[in-house]
Amino acid sequence: MILIDILLFILTLFFVFSFLAFVIGVIKPKVIIRWKENPNRKEVLKIFGITLIILFISIGVVGSMTDDNSKEKNNSENLESETSKIDVKLDIDHKVSEENKLKIIISSNLPEQTNFLVTIMNDKYDYKAQDSPVLENGFAKTSWFSDNGNSLKPGDYKVSITVPLAHTQPKSVQKIIGEKGDKLTGEHVNKDDELGKYADKETIIKIEDVYSEKEMMDYKIVSREDLSMKALGNKSLSDYTTNEIENLPLNKKISYNLVVGKNINSKKIKPFITNFINKKTNENKEIDELGVLIYSTEDRVNGAYDIARAIWSTDGEWGGITPNIARDNVRDNYEIFIDIRDNLDEYLNKISKEETKFNLSEKKRKEIYKELILCEDRAMIEADKHYSSMCSECSEFIEEDFGKRNEMENRLLKEYKKEVRNKYNITKEQQEEISMEGLNKNWPMPEMLPYPDCCD
Determine the residue type at 364.
Answer: K
Query: 370, exposed or middle or buried, with CB in 10 Å at 0-12, 13-18, 19+?
Result: middle
Look at residue 359 and give its three-state secondary structure: coil
Cβ neighbors of 101 (< 8 A, separation 6 or more) are: 144, 145, 146, 151, 152
Count the alpha carbons within 13 Å of 291 in the hemisphere toward its beta carbon.
15
Determine the residue type at 183.
Answer: K
In the chain, pLDDT over 70 holds for what percent of residues? 88
Flag the least confident range among 37-46, 245-254, 361-370: 37-46
Model confidence pLDDT, tens digit, residues 124-174: 889 999 999 999 999 999 999 988 777 788 889 999 999 988 888 999 999
How would residue 34 be classed by pLDDT, with cut points 50, 70 and 90? low
Measured distance CA(410)–CA(390) in Å, rounded: 19
199, 188 Cβ separation under 8 angstroms: yes
Is the model more confident about 134 or about 332?
A: 134
How would residue 78 be classed by pLDDT, with cut points 50, 70 and 90? very low
How would residue 109 be classed by pLDDT, with cut points 50, 70 and 90? very high
Q: What's the pLDDT score for residue 53?
A: 79
How would residue 69 be classed by pLDDT, with cut points 50, 70 and 90? low
Q: What's the pLDDT score for residue 210?
A: 58
Is residue 233's pLDDT more than 60? yes
Measured distance CA(219)–CA(295) in Å, rounded: 10
In the chain, pLDDT over 90 holds for what percent of residues? 35
Q: What's the pLDDT score for residue 214?
A: 46
Is residue 74's pLDDT more than 60? no
39, 30 Cβ separation under 8 angstroms: yes
165 phi and psi angles, rounded to 5 deg: -55, 150
Q: What's the pLDDT score for residue 25?
A: 65
Measured distance CA(199)–CA(186) in Å, rounded: 9
Q: Rg of the chain's alpha carbons, rounded to an integer?
A: 48
117, 164 Cβ separation under 8 angstroms: yes
Mean pLDDT of 367-393: 90
Q: Which helix (H) or strand (E) holds 343?
A: none
Tell me the CA distances in angstroms from 25 to 11, 28, 31, 314, one per residue in order: 20, 5, 7, 101
